[in-house]
Structure 1
């Protein structure tokens, strides 16, 4: 079956009012200019010993041109791939956001944010505008948030059921990034539709959502600041449900029902946060509070960590003329904000980071985190084995050494990471405790005149689990060199890993070669070849397989 090729042609029509305000400057601009890049890649793949994990051949065509029409910049982006054959929600996306002074238009697939609770970076296919003359802040976006489930006619399979979802969002406010007040609103709804074929939609029902949000930030005396944001979400999980509410007793429901369909599946959620702080040249301090209702949801955001409230204090400090830097955070977090669970989990959150540039050659970074969780019964008596009581600690230390002169450049990077999950519950600690250690040393030697870089390295990983220890020791070797005044670049990256597992040992050999040739500033050709070989020992158990994979990629990039 030949693949259908979809062409998206999007035009921007600017109103005469915009041009009329700037006729004098428009005459000085170039009528038309275009710049950007076009990338074409073909990828081949083969495997032996296992089932192939991708198609034998695929291609990707992507581009990021920018048009300039009388000084108006119109950035475009698109990606077209063989993956469209799978009938999944395609990632073939095309969009642009032309900007002229304080006005920005959005057309196509765009990721716009008005607030954390209304429209928060969710990909929308549609059109919108943002206007920011002086301190006025306005935004509007409307379009499709989800595309309906489609059936793969070649196999008869379908992806998880989703309805077509359309909506709009608006923002209005006043101020600057340092001090402002914004109000935002989102309204979205799944479309009523019938799916082709025998598809059971009883588990997924068409929903509707309305969210209002507010965002405040005030800066005063050039040092102190106050911030707050919040959102109220009304979510109807099935607007076709016959379950009714008591509209006669609660008159306000009649008003809300004019905005969003209310019935027995409707719920409302609150989420808000705020804090205060100050910032000096070499130190700062911030105190923040956040609370999110259980199951808080917005059709304009991908994910919310819900059912939590926390308070944190976050200091920063710089010393020794900025060579010594510290930032940290300490807080308490708990769930069960509405006392609906049988147990409440409380957590202590601690984090600290220190970076010290000891001299021009040597420095060190250190990071420490500690997360402690503890569950307490609230209503019912719960057996100890079902209560959570654990601590997660993570410590990392990363020294670095850089020595450079006219002949050579030497870079040594080392890192040690220790992570522990300690279960304090005596009934479950024997199966839940996890200890992990990772150590590595990488060395880069560059011979400046030759343009040759050598990159050896070694790393070690040890995981202690209830089922036994799992360890890996790996050796890496890489090199790169430029030829023909760096128009031709050759490089190789290789690794050899020895794994020790309770089921048996294995080795993994990964070999890779890369080449790129750029005869001019506009044209670049690239080639990549990679080979992966997994070899378990003869006494390995648990279904370990000996297999190999080979991948080759050829590409061309045109810059204009």
Structure 2
């Protein structure tokens, strides 16, 4: 592995050398900032609560004092937040304070220092946080380059007395990566390299007894987006991941495509492939395409927290614009399956289909509808299929299970009146969803259907600074166990005063719940609030909520809850030390 370390050291030296001018240029820009400034805010939130006809579900009085301060030193921000209440005390930073990240930049160069993360592609390196440094450079509107080096894991000795954390022990892990992209018009070509390695000597004791071994990984990725002809566009990406699951194994068993980087193939090394490709055709007012993706079983890299692997996706899509763009239709149909190597005792197939339709009936009237059908098919085979089926009951060893979820939605928007001072709108939305489970040889299956209807009529008067709305909702939930209906009206009114410095709002709703045709529950909800801003730094808010519930049972129980909230917030900002003019 000596060649591997040599390449890593050369990469680090090149990276640091190329970054020195960048830092020098960024420092020039940083020195133009004010040496020290501070900004932030403080708020006091007080809540009073009482209940009638039932037990209190919270404290009768609570308060919370929140504060956040961001001190800026030459443009570098260090945020801190504090909170105090009569229930608990907390003093925190947005992240643990030992995880500071700086992002100085200059023109087309951006640098990351500290605890940061970057992203190349889903198959190579995707958002894994490291402690180190990275840079992103854009050149000539054609080239963009990313590079980083850092520590991914600390060395943590196993502690049998402290196993609360998910990570009970780990080797120190360092890694680096680079990505180079070239773009010309709609054509784009990219190359990615990522590598990470655990240091087996970073711990005094090995972690074999908890099945944690020192790993190493190197990934190469290539992506292409290319116009084949004037109307045909090709996109593809392929990645090769070589994973060594125990660095201590040194005996080579065969060649490795990464041998030119000093990476050797041992009995603990596996090579995985992931790729996707797509082809689309753009015509006059329409687009059709097909896409294929395949991710090998156990495919993973050390540059991502989680991978979906062992899958194959085939999807087709089409979209069309009709009647001068007034009607748009798009469809997407796909098939997904796993167990592509046929090594598991179960496999799954999933059929996905969707359609969307948009229709501008009139400049003031629009209609949209959508439908999707998700079907999952699972087949669990017997452990040994070579056994001969002797009777009809032997088929029970094989589980064939289908899950279906269908959704449909229709919505319309009608601008009844539109002017500079007055507008009136009517919105109606209907949705339906059904899910079911089916299994062969079983007559009964579970199925649940949900219907929901919402309608809102609103008026907004800009001249008098008020808005009012009236609405209604109804829903039906059907299942083999019960049928539940929920319905009721609602309304709201908002009004502003004193050049919109004072905002008020009032809202009311009623909902009834029927189970098997019998009214079982009623809920009344009243809300009001007032918000006042003073000199853009002081904000006062007072709100009240009254909820009344009536449960139709043997006692015909009625309970109410009343909550009042008073909030004061103050925002500030000041430059404590100003820069000296030259």
Q: Unaligned regions of 5+ residues in structure 2, if any?
A: 1-16, 386-394, 575-582
- Give the aligned partner of residue 153 of structure 1: none
Q: Which residue of 1 aligns with 2:504?
A: 490
Counterpart in the other structure of 1:7 = none
Question: Aligned partners of 2:377 and 2:545: how far apart in 1?
Answer: 47
Q: How much has 1:440 moved relative to structure 2? A: 1.0
Alpha carbon RMSD of aligned pairs, Å? 5.0
2:253 corresponds to which residue?
249
Secondary structure at 1:479 match in 2: strand
When the two structures are aligned, how many residues end up with a matched partner? 524
1:363 corresponds to which residue?
366
Query: CA offset at residue 343 of structure 1?
Result: 3.6
1:419 matched to 2:423: no
Q: Structure 2 CA distance, aligned partners of 1:201 and 1:485?
A: 71
Q: 1:413-452 to 2 correspondence within 5 Å?
A: 413-426=427-440, 430-452=444-466
Deviations 1:302-345 (A, max 9, x none): 44333221111111112233222222212222121111223432
Which residue pairs with 2:133 in the alignment?
127
Output the CA distance in 2 between the equivalents of 1:392 and 1:159.
Answer: 37
Contact residue 436 and residue 448 of structure 2 kept, 8 A: yes
Which 10-residue stretch deviates more, 500-509 or 422-431? 500-509
Shift of 1:162: 6.2
Pair 427,472 (structure 1): closer, same or farther in 2 beyond 3 Å: farther
Deviation at 1:395, TM superposition (A): 0.8
Question: Quick one: structure 1 residues 229 and 509, their matched pair in 2 at CA, closer, same or farther if it must change by over 3 Å?
Answer: farther
Instruction: Flag the structure with larger Rg.
Output: 2
Shifted more, 299-308 versus 352-361: the winner is 299-308
Change (3 A) 1:272 1:374: same
Structure 2 Cα separation of the partners of residues 223 and 429 of structure 1: 51
* Larger relative contact order (Cα-Cα within 8 Å, sequence gap ≥ 6): 2
The match for 1:212 is 220
Where does residue 11 of structure 2 map in the other structure?
A: none
1:119 aligned counterpart, secondary structure: coil
2:273 maps to which residue?
A: 270
Alignment match of 1:114 (pick from 110, 117, 120): 120
266-275 vs 183-192, which moves further = 183-192
For 1:169-208, what aligned pairs fall within 5 Å after superposition? Answer: 169-176=177-184, 178-188=186-196, 202=210
1:399-432 per-position Cα deviation (integer Å, ceiling 9, x unaligned): 1111313442112221111111233424567453
Distance 1:205 1:497 in 2: 58
User: Conserved in 2, the CA contact under 8 Å of 1:161 and 1:201?
Assistant: no
Q: What TM-score do you get using the length of structure 2 for normalisation?
A: 0.72
Structure 2 residue 402 is matched with structure 1 residue 389: yes
**Hey, what does 1:4 align to over in structure 2?**
none
- Is residue 80 from structure 1 mapped to residue 81 from structure 2 by the alignment? yes
Distance 2:93 2:550 in 1: 35
Cα pair 1:420 1:436 within 8 Å, conserved: yes
1:24-423 to structure 2, matched below 5 A, reads 31-32=32-33, 38=40, 40-43=42-45, 49=55, 58=64, 61=67, 78=79, 80=81, 82=83, 85=90, 90=95, 95=101, 97-108=103-114, 110-124=116-130, 126-134=132-140, 135-143=142-150, 158-161=164-167, 167-176=175-184, 178-188=186-196, 202=210, 209-235=217-243, 239=246, 247-252=251-256, 255=259, 259=263, 264=268, 267-280=270-283, 282-376=285-379, 380=384, 383=396, 386-402=399-415, 403-423=417-437
Aligned partners of 2:538, 2:110: CA distance in 1, in Å?
33
* Partner Cα distance (2:68, 2:267) in 1: 46
Structure 1 residues 188-242: Cα deviation after superposition (integer angstroms, max 9, x where no partner): 46788889xxx999377776544332221113555332111122334456x58x8
Q: Residues 359, 330 of structure 1: CA spacing in aligned structure 2 closer, same or farther, 3 A cutoff? A: same
Q: Mean Cα displacement is larger for which, 91-100 or 117-126?
A: 91-100
Q: Is the 8 A contact 1:50 1:545 kept in 2?
A: no
